[in-house]
Amino acid sequence: MTRVFDFVAGDSPLLVSIPHDGRELAPGMAERMTGAGRALPDTDWHVRRLYDFVAELGASVLAANCSRYVVDLNRPADDSALYSGQVSTGLCPTMTFAGEPIYADGYQLRDQDRRKRIDAYWRPYHEKLRSELDRLVAGFGYALLWDAHSIRGELPLLFDGALPDLNIGTNGGLSCSEAMSDAVGAAAASAAYSSVTNGRFRGGYITRHYGDPAAGVHAIQLEIAQRTYMDEQSLAYAEPAAARLAATIAGMLTAFTNTAKMCRES
């Protein structure tokens, strides 16, 4: 089986989680899928590449190798709803964000298949995430979790109109300190991109579950509209545009880490 995740340890309190860039499938899964499913259209394309620069910031990086179609690592294991009243593709999706079936006619994903995927892919990722956050808190007194995502800018099934370029999520201010949220939001607003905090994307399971300022863990999700750094049709990485965006994300991360230091020192 493919390695569930890749991990690189840094030397700062910052941990970058990349749960949806993976493209590997579970054994025997591909032959049961439709062409639309095998194309993996809902991958967070090139996010790992976009965040290559974070090594310079001393960040640790945890990146999944499995596709979100195997199991969505940013959803709770019990598959409870994250956004009440809105369309959800689920813990083990059976349709794409565009509403197309992922599996061929006649195939039903069984409960035992879901449990196997949780045990084989979901649980190891979250065990590593938890252990690293605990390590950072023990070593630095606090941990900063940045959950990195991207998505097509227009998906009528999930949201109306075009998504802002940068979508910051702090679970309505519960997953990190107000000062950190304000600093990251200001860094985004000062750049040449549209941005919003706690709009359509307020943070998924990772942000909501691990963000616990009282315990020293501050978590922020960034959902990026893919048009800002790639061609959404060809899926090609747009190097100059991506470099500009990476510089903006670096500024947001620097605002996150610097504000955390100031809060600790005050």
Contact by Cβ (8 Å): 17, 59: no
Number of structural domains found in the chain: 1
- How do residues 206-221 score in pLDDT, each as one tens digit? 999 999 999 999 999 9
CATH number, position 221: 3.40.630.40
Q: Which helix (H) or strand (E) holds 7?
A: strand 5-8
- How do residues 28-59 score in pLDDT, each as one tens digit? 999 999 999 999 999 999 999 999 999 999 99
Report how far residue 108's alpha carbon sits from residue 106's, in angstroms, rounded to the nearest whole number: 6
Question: In 3D, which of 150, 154, 188, 128 has the Cα closest to residue 48?
Answer: 150
Structural domain including 132 reads 5-265
Which pLDDT band holds residue 84 (cuts at 50, 70, 90)? low
- How do residues 112-160 score in pLDDT, each as one tens digit? 999 999 999 999 999 999 999 999 999 999 999 999 999 999 999 899 9
Report how far residue 4's alpha carbon sits from residue 125's, in angstroms, rounded to the nearest whole number: 7
Contact by Cβ (8 Å): 239, 226: no
Phi and psi at 16, nearest 5°, equal -100, 120
Output the average pLDDT for the chain.
95
pTM, to two decimals: 0.96
